[in-house]
């Protein structure tokens, strides 16, 4: 008698495809499909930008967050070393445009090519544009990982934050040699009470999800200027005292309140 056939292997786990709508596509403007198990970040299935960001950042993969809210702000990609101006334009939904902000910054001698190595200068641009609409801003000095920042985000505020960007654009510690600007548009508190932020910046159309503590450490290490590798022949304007000086980037960010955009409360 022939030996009985072995039992059939169990079916593979169900996989879902998360398709990002055209307005949220990547830099090449191709539709992006992320394959993930149907139980990973399932709590955010109704919010594809947040689900994709948390899946890529390995945040709240299987546990529902305690709190999660954000502004639905359209991404803009930077052209040239204009990350701070692009982050500011995103906050205003593209009006003024990055090009208009660049002209204003050049007129006020804040920049030569779009670079913003001074939180004070970007704060002055922010304040001048907020004067024409609702909202208020404040230049914050000190650590980002503090009750003041968390309270602001819980109240629906947002931040313009300089930090060192790694090759994947996440916060790192390079002493300011990879200084970059991001717009923090919301937050998440995980099951262990760790505080994360949602951020937009000019290098990708994806929402980034970063630990606030990690972003704070990166912001605090901005001490030295380094010539950006992509612009070896460009001259950049640095504020008096450098990145670590009173007009620089270290331990500084811009707090914004009262934006007209509607807050999305996920949980």
* Catalytic positions: 83
Residue 188: name the closest of 212, 165, 152 by CA.
Answer: 212
Structure tokens at 142: 């000190």
* Cα 11 to Cα 15, 37, 91, 237, 262, distances in angstroms: 11, 13, 46, 60, 43
List, in sequence order, every beta strand (DSSP E) within the chain.
Answer: 15-19, 33-37, 67-71, 136-141, 158-165, 171-172, 179-189, 195-200, 208-211, 252-257, 263-265
* Block residue for tokens 């002209």: 103
Give the single-character DSSP code of 38.
T
Q: Are 112 and 236 in contact (CB under 8 A)?
A: yes
Q: Are 125 and 112 in contact (CB under 8 A)?
A: no
| CA gap 105, 124 in Å, rounded | 10
- Pairing of β 195-200 and β 208-211: antiparallel
| CA gap 18, 36 in Å, rounded | 8
Helix (H), strand (E), coil (C) string for 150-172: HHHHHCCCEEEEEEEECCCCCEE
């Amino acid at each position: 008698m022939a030996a009985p056939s072995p039992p059939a292997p169990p079916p593979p786990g169900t996989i879902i495809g998360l398709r990002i709508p055209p307005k949220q596509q990547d830099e090449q403007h191709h539709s992006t499909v992320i394959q993930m198990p149907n139980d990973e970040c399932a709590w955010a299935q109704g919010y594809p930008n947040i689900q994709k960001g948390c899946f890529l950042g390995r945040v709240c993969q299987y546990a529902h967050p305690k709190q999660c809210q954000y502004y639905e702000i359209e991404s803009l990609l930077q052209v040239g070393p204009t990350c701070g101006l692009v982050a500011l334009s995103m906050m205003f939904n593209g009006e003024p445009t990055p090009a208009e902000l660049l002209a204003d910054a050049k007129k006020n001698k804040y920049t030569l090519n779009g670079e913003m190595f001074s939180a004070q200068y970007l704060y002055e641009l922010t304040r001048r544009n907020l004067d024409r609409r609702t909202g208020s801003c404040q230049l914050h000095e000190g650590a980002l990982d503090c009750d003041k920042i968390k309270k602001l985000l819980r109240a629906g505020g947002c931040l313009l934050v300089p930090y060192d960007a790694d090759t994947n654009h996440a916060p790192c510690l390079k002493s300011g040699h990879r200084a970059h600007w991001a717009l923090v548009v919301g937050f998440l508190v995980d099951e262990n009470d760790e505080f994360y932020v949602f951020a937009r910046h000019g290098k990708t159309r994806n929402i980034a999800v970063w630990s606030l503590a990690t972003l704070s450490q990166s912001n605090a290490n901005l001490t030295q200027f380094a010539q950006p590798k992509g612009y070896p022949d460009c001259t950049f304007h640095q504020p008096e005292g450098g990145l670590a000086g009173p007009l620089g980037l270290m331990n500084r960010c811009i707090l914004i309140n009262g934006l007209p955009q509607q807050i999305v409360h996920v949980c």
